[in-house]
Amino acid sequence: MNNTIIKTDFNFPGQTDVYKGKVRDVYTLKNNKLVIVATDRLSAFDVVMPKGIPYKGQILNQIATKMMEATRDLVPNWLEKTPDPNVAVGQACEPFKIEMVIRGYLAGHAAREYKAGKRMLCGVEMPNGMKENDKFPEPIITPATKAEQGDHDEDISKEEILKQGIVSKEDYKILEEYTLNLFKRGSEIAAKRGLILVDTKYEFGKNANGEIVLIDEIHTPDSSRYFYADGYSKRQDKNEPQKQLSKEFVRQWLIENNFQGKEGQILPEMSDDYITSVSERYIELYEKITGEAFVKSDISNIETRIENNVLEYLK
């Protein structure tokens, strides 16, 4: 369990800044370059767990890399290279202050709003007569404002985004088009693996040339919800919960142990056995989403390995 990376303190050549996110640490270098280290930190309910999950950073980084490569013909992205299993290097961009959330099914937040009697989500009408996990007639885009650290993202409509001048009309049209195209491709990739891409989010930014590019990770189990396609219809007909492929299992375990990130609640202790089981689930997610066997990298000294690989790439 000690062979995880939960904090980083690198000093790369030409480094000008560092930002520590919930699970990734972002190092800014001169020449508009970013070095993003995917750590093994685990976040749920906006809280970072005290222990790392072996191989989690490698898994998310490698899924995101594969998905970036599989969609590069549709949408330009920030990624240049992955010099280490836990590291992505690419161009620094000015991020848009919204996340483009797209939903193909009535699940998660959308289902909770629907159950509460709402039929409008982010200015988009949801049809009457739906039940949880039903497919929408067409995918719906339900944007969220990107929260400053620690705060929750907030739903926002397209109209409000344009009214507040958060994104220009011309740029938003491109973001919409890119989002729909990416979701279509992601759904096709998922279908080949016997999965349904239920909902996901995409983040975009502008690079130094003013071009809109895809940034952040895509189609990972941390940013997306998947259902197993086999048995989906039968489960819907019987009003049974869908079999999911996401980090929902971690949230469920926390809820069962009386933790939802609320004030006064105490984080349950994660035993070594539980952490091993979470690591195994993430490996299963990787293999199901990519259709490939997961190859464990050498984690005897992750920090040194990462540093050596990044320095070699930057030479």
CATH number at residue 60: 3.30.200.20
Same domain, yes or no: 176 and 304: no
Same domain, yes or no: 236 and 127: yes
Same domain, yes or no: 120 and 223: yes
Same domain, yes or no: 70 and 197: no
For residue 302, pLDDT beyond 70: yes
| Number of domains the chain is built from | 2
Say what percent of the chain tops pLDDT 90.
78
Confidence of residue 148 (pLDDT cuts 50, 70, 90): low
**pTM of the predicted model as reported, rounded to 2 decimal places:** 0.91
Q: What is the mean pLDDT of the chain?
A: 92
Annotate the chain with DSSP letters as a single string.
Answer: --S---------TTEEEEEE-SSEEEEEETTTEEEEEE-S--EETTEE-SS--TTHHHHHHHHHHHHHHHHTTTS-BSEEEEEETTEEEEE--EE-SEEEEEEEES-HHHHHHHHTT--EETTEEPPTT--TTPEEEEEEE--EEPPPTTSPPEE--HHHHHHTTSS-HHHHHHHHHHHHHHHHHHHHHHHHTTEEEEEEEEEEEE-TTS-EEEES--S-TTTEEEEESTTHHHHHHTTPPPPEESTHHHHHHHHHTT-SS-TT--PPP--HHHHHHHHHHHHHHHHHHHSS---PPP-TTHHHHHHHHHHHHH-
Cα 196 from chain centroid? 16
For residue 244, pLDDT beyond 70: yes
Q: What is the pLDDT of residue 216?
A: 87
Same domain, yes or no: 202 and 284: no
For residue 186, pLDDT beyond 60: yes
143 token code pair: 């944007």
Q: What is the pLDDT of residue 152?
A: 61
Q: Is residue 263 part of a domain?
A: no
* Residues 100/175, Cβ–Cβ less than 8 Å: yes
Confidence of residue 147 (pLDDT cuts 50, 70, 90): low
Please state, in angstroms and rounded to a whole number, the distance separating the CA atoms of residues 192 and 223.
20
CATH number at residue 140: 3.30.470.20
For residue 223, pLDDT beyond 60: yes
CA atoms in the 13 A half-sphere facing the CB of 72: 10
Average pLDDT over residues 74-82: 96
Owning domain of residue 172: 97-207+216-245
Say what percent of the chain tops pLDDT 70.
97
Same domain, yes or no: 110 and 230: yes
